Each structure stands twice: as C-alpha cells, then as structure tokens.
Amino acid sequence: MEFDPLRDEGIAYAQALLASGVGTELHLYPGTFHGSGMARHAAVTRRQITERTTVLRRVLHG
C-alpha cells in the first residue's frame, strides 16, 4: 500500500529476503492505503486478490 505506516519496512524486508537468495515478490499498489482492501468492489482490490491468488497457487502447486 502506498499510504501505509509499515510500507517502507515491508519493502526493506522484501529487499533483505532477495539479498539472502529467498524467492520473493513485491507488489506495489499506488494510491492505496492501509486497509484499502476492505473496499472489496474497487478495481485495485480485485487486482490485489487476483495477484495474491495467482502467486499462492504458483508457490503451493509448483
């Protein structure tokens, strides 16, 4: 989320994982805020859900 008090820490954590060789994806959603996923019908929320589901399926099902 662009406007999330933990955004920078999340980005730094993803970078540290990548630097350690851990397979990592970082998805950024400009204009969103902490809790914006509660707006279930918003296009960006639907995109987040789709991307999250796609990544989880790929990781869990190889």
Q: Which of 33, 27, 30 is nearest to 11 (CA)?
A: 27
| Tens of pLDDT, residues 5-60 | 999 999 999 999 999 999 999 999 988 998 898 899 999 999 999 999 999 999 99
Whether the predicted pLDDT of 1 surpasses 90: no
User: What's the whole-model pTM score?
Assistant: 0.74
Confidence category of residue 2, pLDDT binned at 50, 70, 90: confident
Which of 61, 6, 53 is closest to 45 using CA atoms?
A: 53
